[in-house]
Structure 1
Amino acid sequence: MSGKSGDLLPEGRRGQWLAVGLVVIVAAVVWLGVASPLIGWYDARQVDIANRRALLDDMASRARALPALRQLARASRPDAAPKATLLTGGTDAIAAAALQGLIQDMATAAGATLASEEVLPAVQQGGFRQIDLRIALTARWPVLVQLLQEIDASDLRLLVDDLEFHAVDDAATGSGGPGGHPPLAASFVVMAFRAGSGDRAGDLQTQAYEFGR
């Protein structure tokens, strides 16, 4: 039996070429099945990391330029008449509704769609009531910057606090998206103020409670 099996396998140079061919075939199969997909995945990750680094650099550059832009905007209209800087409304609820409407208009102007709005409890700050509105949205970086600029340029005294954002996957357009900007899930608090010491109903409840004590 061993003699017959040996006769089926080529010997000499022909056998060596056959062995080399088998090694090449096995290596090609391993390359196509394992190595090539891994290299492709690695290259895609490198491109994604490079895009995210470029986005962070762009964001940092824009953030550094904001103070100069604000100063330039103020200098360009020195004779402008002062306008109201406080929310109107006799109660926190009315002032909060006015703030919500204002932010919605700003979002529309910037091309953003708000995912959620939450009115936070008002806080007494000296002779003023601080009205806080937490908003969340998903938008690309230029749209988010435009919205923040709209808020900063408002005649009202608006402040932004607790800003958080992170990139999210975009299955429709890819991680880069138009202009290389991936979509960002962002949330932040817009703070505004109205004159007063609280809602009249709240003041009456407090006085009744203190009288009962």
Structure 2
Amino acid sequence: MRVLLVEDDRALAQGIRMAFRGEGYTMDWVADGLDASHALRCERFDLVLLDLGLPRQDGLDLLREMRAREEGNVPVMILTARDTTTDRIQGLDAGADDYLIKPFDLDELKARIRALLRRSQGRAQPLLEHSGISLDPATQEVRYQENLVTMTPMEYQLLHQLLIRPGVVVTRERLSNTLYGWHESGPGNTLEVLIHNLRKKLDSRLIRTVRGVGYVMERGS
């Protein structure tokens, strides 16, 4: 899952990013509203964590702008010190999907993010289950035919992306963007290596290559 963190407090932003390292997320960070607006126009994200008191463009204005554009369906969680009922109503009415008051518990933030992503994917159940695979976003455990399968963080992220869209081709670009943020990179064959590893650990028939496009988790395997 790729997350955009919009937060002007550098220490808080670094703390959040550290807390989510190894949790199956790629988290990019910007410190003001205009940079966030540009990022949202140019990149695809699965979730936005949005502060309100931002330099150059207020968070509420950014949120209203988002909802008026094509990326308006991206889930948004507001993280702010504005704690009055009026503030919460304004944020939710502007299009936020959730609203969390600073200071907050990181475990609660993680649980709320999992719930938002579940809803955005049209799922009610916390587990992702398909063709003998079971993936638990809360514990990051993966089981195949009821046996626990050890996954690296990147293998887990890649499998997660494929499982939320069974039968749908996920492009190489989208998968690569999920694995790497703006300041990260990997060998040119990283994606192929990860797919190879998943096929070995699960079943070679489960993931099909669509040449020149990407990969698909087969529906009826």
Specify the TM-score bucket, using the shorter chain as the normaliser: under 0.3
Higher helix share: 1
TM-score, length basis structure 1: 0.25
Report which structure shows greater RCO (CA 8 Å, sep ≥6): 1
Higher Rg of the two aligned structures: 1
